[in-house]
Amino acid sequence: MVAKIDADACTGCGSCIDECPAAAISLSDDEIAVVDEDECLDCGACEDACPNGAITLE
């Protein structure tokens, strides 16, 4: 499993970045969260932190 971002729902607020213990999430140039799948721990912290429901573990 890995965190997946729904780009249509992501507002670029950064909550997921702040909560990710692996620092596996960054913002793209267009302010959408991007997950480094090699670094993702599948912990779900980002999914819980997202106020827009834009992140799911798949």
Please, what sign has the CA dihedral across residues 28, 34, 40, 46?
positive
Q: Mind listing the pLDDT tens digit for each residue in 1-58?
A: 999 999 999 999 999 999 999 999 999 999 999 999 999 999 999 999 999 999 999 9
At 20 the pLDDT is 98
At 18 the pLDDT is 97
The whole model's pTM is what?
A: 0.92
Domain regions of the chain by residue span: 3-57
At 40 the pLDDT is 97
Its CATH class, for the domain covering 3-57, is: alpha beta
